[in-house]
Structure 1
């Protein structure tokens, strides 16, 4: 109706410069200079999120049409973020090509070795255990995974390696999800020294309580699982240093774009854009995470990354105290990073660590007891 005022958010496609770019609207699409693409794509993503929030699907679809042009295979590096919302995870390739998880494991292993010194059991690299002066200890590894085949392969490979090094070894596979873990299935015996290593997993627990506030602690019913129920000698947590657990779609779009733009940038420094391995990481790992952050709600939204400051609050209120990482662990991490691009670095703050790209923290590590 003429003169009627639309009460929805004011992102008008009719007045948007992107309307002039659509091949479907009668003009030839021309890509702007690469230096402008990322900024223009951010505006398009913001505009699209506004229309989705206002339930204006027709306008949102037009935005997505323009986004698809910017995110074509030969586009500017960061624009690929918008075209990777599909397929499955490829964690192994990410581990191989980027140093983030390698550094996390180096620091974690060193911290656990130091915490378990003198004990009968510890969780670390089998090779290091075999060279201990007092001889290798008995090692029991409990692994949790939804896929039984993955656990069977882990069991086969770890058992073979342990036997070759004459290390007493036991593998305890648990088929299931972390949020459904039953303490009884861990089979922790009295007197066993227990260490917990959580790598990019703990944030998924935040999906189990839809009534929680963003700054709240983990639900009280879950606290015994991480404190009195297990009493680990050490718990090391590695997670994304990002804020992707916002209540609003707009907040998650903006924050995830910044975070994954940095990840795409560091991946670009490691391999060229034409390599198949890189494309798999972009689509199957980053893409699935982005899709979950943006498109899912409720318990289906598992990628609820939060910054370390919020995890510190939760864990301290659950009764844990921070354990500082040793200087030796830092040295080993920095030595590993020297074989990669010089823009990678590790920062220490209040006993916790952040693995950074161009001084931008992307993954955090913290140790607790």
Structure 2
């Protein structure tokens, strides 16, 4: 990250410093960023913001959460095929109405998300770019999360298979240490331990607008550059589409990641 940013800054002849801070997003002290007064500030959140939902939804969803999943139960699940599990596992589907799912009370930022966004507001950034997984892994029931994770990660592993050979150790690390850990967290954890609470773009739009953000439409030039990058690397199965002024990256027709730009409303 530091090397790439430094190279881009040199191309644009912009003075640049990189000061890495290693900590969880929920523990980040924004004062440690050493932002200089008068400098133009841009914020980029890549696959991180959803972790702040771990505590935010415990109160509004208290009545809808599945019972905690024990290690014994997880082991039993892994010893069955998915079809066998669907047949034998008692399923309690909760289908919230559209009013409940998108109501301001269920999307209002609180407490960690709210305090984090308020702290960002105090820094007065010129723009904030948010990249998140385009899937709903924050459902109130285990069954919902299993099905969503199955569909999302099947597409993710499919695109990985088509673009990266199986031999490199880097791919094995990504599959095991990144995607594998995400899947376990989505299915086997509950409460504050379940950090991988991915939500779709429509939810992020509502949540960020309620927090005082305004969308910044992506420029035609930016979209064109992204399209050329895909063509240059010959990634046939990858596609891009614009949705509500935001960019959605897809594998074939399956959305994988959303990229949106935001600015604080004055």
Q: TM-score range by the shorter chain?
A: 0.7 to 0.9
1:354 to 234, 244, 248: 248
Question: 1:179·1:208 contact (CA, 8 Å) conserved in 2?
Answer: no
Residues 1:178 and 2:45 are matched in the alignment:
no
After superposition, where does 1:260-299 map in structure 2 within 5 Å?
260-273=153-166, 276-299=169-192
2:203 to 310, 322, 326: 310
Question: 1:193·1:232 contact (CA, 8 Å) conserved in 2?
Answer: yes
What is the distance in 1 between the residues matched to 2:30 and 2:212?
18
Shift of 1:138: 2.7
* Larger mean Cα displacement after TM superposition, 344-353 or 271-280: 271-280
Shift of 1:273: 4.2
Shift of 1:347: 0.4
Which SS does the other structure have where 2:45 is aligned? strand
Structure 2, unmatched stretches of 5+, are: 62-100
Change (3 A) 1:280 1:329: same
Shift of 1:343: 1.5
What's 1:324 paired with? 217
Residues paired across the two proteins, number: 213
What is the distance in 2 between the residues matched to 1:175 and 1:285?
18
Structure 1, unmatched stretches of 5+, are: 1-104, 106-123, 140-168
Shift of 1:212: 4.0
What is the distance in 2 between the residues matched to 1:274 and 1:126?
31
Which SS does the other structure have where 1:331 is aligned? helix
Change (3 A) 1:173 1:279: closer
What is the distance in 2 between the residues matched to 1:126 and 1:272?
30
Structure of greater Rg: 1
Shift of 1:226: 3.1
2:138 to 235, 245, 250: 245
What's 1:137 paired with? 14
Shift of 1:276: 4.1
What's 1:216 paired with? 107
Cα-to-partner distance string for 1:128-174 (whole Å, 9 max, x where unaligned): 32233xxx3332xxxxxxxxxxxxxxxxxxxxxxxxxxxxx3x3332
Question: 2:217·2:245 contact (CA, 8 Å) conserved in 1?
Answer: yes
TM-score by length of structure 2 reads: 0.74
TM-score by length of structure 1 reads: 0.54
Question: 1:197·1:235 contact (CA, 8 Å) conserved in 2?
Answer: yes
After superposition, where does 1:102-121 map in structure 2 within 5 Å?
none
Change (3 A) 1:262 1:187: same
What is the distance in 1 between the residues matched to 2:182 and 2:142?
15
**What do you get for the CA RMSD once the two structures are aligned?**
2.0
What is the distance in 1 between the residues matched to 2:259 and 2:60?
24
Shift of 1:272: 3.9
Residues 1:200 and 2:47 are matched in the alignment:
yes
What is the distance in 1 between the residues matched to 2:60 and 2:29?
22
What is the distance in 1 between the residues matched to 2:187 and 2:148?
11
Residues 1:363 and 2:251 are matched in the alignment:
no
Question: 1:292·1:302 contact (CA, 8 Å) conserved in 2?
Answer: yes
Question: 2:9·2:15 contact (CA, 8 Å) conserved in 1?
Answer: no
Change (3 A) 1:138 1:278: closer
Change (3 A) 1:281 1:130: closer
After superposition, where does 1:119-158 map in structure 2 within 5 Å?
125-132=5-12, 136-139=13-16
What's 2:123 paired with? 230
What is the distance in 2 between the residues matched to 1:255 and 1:320?
28
